[in-house]
Amino acid sequence: MKVETSAALFALLSVASARPDAVRIFRKAQSPTGASAKFRREVPQEHSHEKFLTGVGQALNLNNVDQVQDPVFALLGNKAAAEGAGLVQDLDCLQQRVADQAFTNAKAANDVEGMTNALIYRALERNTGSVGLASVLCTETAKNPEIAAIQQHQDPASSGAAALNKQITLDLAVQLASVGADPQLALQSGTFAPGEIGDQTGAGNTCDVADDAEGCIFTQNLLVEDATAAEIDAAVAAAGGKASAGNNNAAAGNATGNAAADDAADDGCEADDAAADDAADDKASNNSASSSGATATATTGNNVNAFTGSVGSAPVPVISSTADKPFSVNGAEFLNLGAAIQRACDVQKNACANAANGGDATVSVADCEAQQQQCVAQNGKKRRQAADTGSCGSAAISFGKQSDRPNEDAFAPVNTADFNHGSALKPAVITGFICSQLQSKCDASAATVAQCKEGAQAADSLSGQAAADAFNAALGA
C-alpha cells in the first residue's frame, strides 16, 4: 500500500483551503461522490472500490449528521482524513461512523442497495503509512448491529491478514444476507495482492483511478478474493440465513431486521459480566428446542433461550458452554449473551417470515415481527439484580405519554434528577444519553456501562414498551 507522503498531504490541504465551498457542495448534492471530491485529496488507493463510495455518498447525503465532507476521507490515514471528518473527533472510527449513518439512512428508506453499499464500504481497507502496516480498529460500538459486526480489511501484507480478511469477508456475507442482499457481494470488499515489506516506494499492488466509476480494482482485475463462493454460502447457512441471493424474502420487508447482532458487542466492547450468571440461572432450562427442525442445531450444552413461542417457526436454541465465546446459535459463537439472544430471535423471525411468504396462511409477516420482539423482551426479563449506577439513581426509562409530550407516546428517563433529558420518539436518543451519563457523570463501573450499551442495542431493535423493557432489564431496573 502506498505511503501518504507529505507532498500529497500538502496538496490536499492547499486545495481544501482554496475550495471553501467544498463542504457546502457536498452537503447539498445528491449526485455520486467523486466528481468534486477528487480535487480535495490525493492518496493511493481510496478510489479502488469507487462504486461503493458513490453509493455510500448518496445514502450519507440523505442525513449527514456528522457533516463529513466525503466518504472517501474515511479511507485515508488520519492526518488526511481530519480535513474532511466534519464533527467526528475519533478518526479511527470515521469509516464506521460514515457506514453507520449511511446504513441508518438507507434502512429508513427501505433501500436494500443503500444498506448493501454501507456494509461493503465498512469492510474496505484503509490506507496506512507503509506496506504491511495494519490500520487501527475503531473501539466505538456502531448503532446498527449489522455495521458493528464488521471491521475494515487490513493490508494484505500485514501479519495474519489472510485469515483475518477472510473472516471479515465471511462476516460481511452474513450481514448482507440479513438485509436481503446477495451475500456473494462480500467478495468484492477484498483488497489487492500483498506488497513487498520494506518497499521504499510504498506502492504495493494498488491502483487509484478517480474517474473509474466501477473501481479500478475491478476493471484492472486486481481484486484478490478472500474466500470461495462455497465458503460464503456455508457461513451464511451457519448463521441461519439464506445462501442464495435468489430468495430475497428479507428485501420484501419480512426480514430486514437485525439478524446480524452477532458480534456487535464483541468488537471493542467488554464482555457482559452477568452472562455467566444468566447461564447458571438457566441450567435447569435445557428444553426441547431440538425439535425445531431446520432452525435448530443439535449441540451440547445448556439452552438459555427463555422464549418458547413458535409462531411459524420453533424457537432457536442459545447454547451456553465454557468456551472462550460461551454462547452459540446454530454454530455461530458469541462472547455476549445479549448478542446471542438477538441472533436467535432474528433467526426465528426469518424462518417464520419464510414460512409466511412461502404460502403458510396461518402466519403473517407481522406475526413474525411481533414474535421477534416478544422473544427479545422475554429473555430481557430474566436479567440480574440492579446494576450499580455509581453516584446516580435508577437508570430506567419509560414509554408512554410524557410531561413534555402529552399527545403521543415517547421514551424518557424515569429519574430526571440524574438523567435530565426531554422525551424522544426513538429509544436510542434516551438510552444513548443515559449510557453516556453513567460513564461521565455518575462514575459507574465499566461493567455497568457495558450493560447499558447492551440494553441500548437491544432496545434499538424493538419498539414501544418492548424497547423500554429490554433496556430496563439489561440494567436490572
Summarize pLDDT for 186-231 with one digit per residue, the tens.
Answer: 999 999 988 877 765 555 578 878 788 888 898 888 899 999 988 9
Using only C-alpha atoms, the chain has a radius of gyration, in whole angstroms, of 23
* pTM for the model: 0.47
Q: What per-residue confidence (pLDDT) applies to 8?
A: 39
Q: Positive or negative, the Cα torsion across 58, 64, 69, 75? A: negative
Here the cell at position 269 is: 466492547
Q: Which of 27, 129, 29, 130 is nearest to 81 (CA)?
A: 129
Distances (CA, A) of 28 to 61, 70, 108, 225: 8, 12, 20, 36
pLDDT at 238: 83
Residue pointed to by grid coordinates 432457536: 316
SS3 content of the chain, % helix, strand, coil (to 5): 45, 5, 50
What are the extents of the domains in the chain? 6-250, 275-380, 397-474
Question: Which cell goes with 273?
Answer: 459480566
pLDDT tens per residue, range 347-394 = 898 889 888 888 888 999 889 988 988 888 777 655 555 778 999 998
- Identity at 246, one-letter amino acid code: G
- Grid coordinates given for 197: 515489506
pLDDT, position 341: 82
Mean pLDDT for back-to-back runs of 10 residues, the chain (477 residues)? 41 36 32 37 65 93 94 90 93 96 93 94 90 88 92 90 92 91 92 79 69 87 90 85 36 32 34 34 32 36 81 88 78 74 86 86 89 82 69 90 89 91 90 91 88 82 79 77
Q: Which is nearest to 260 in space by CA: 252, 250, 270, 272?
A: 250
Q: Residue 382 has what pLDDT?
A: 55
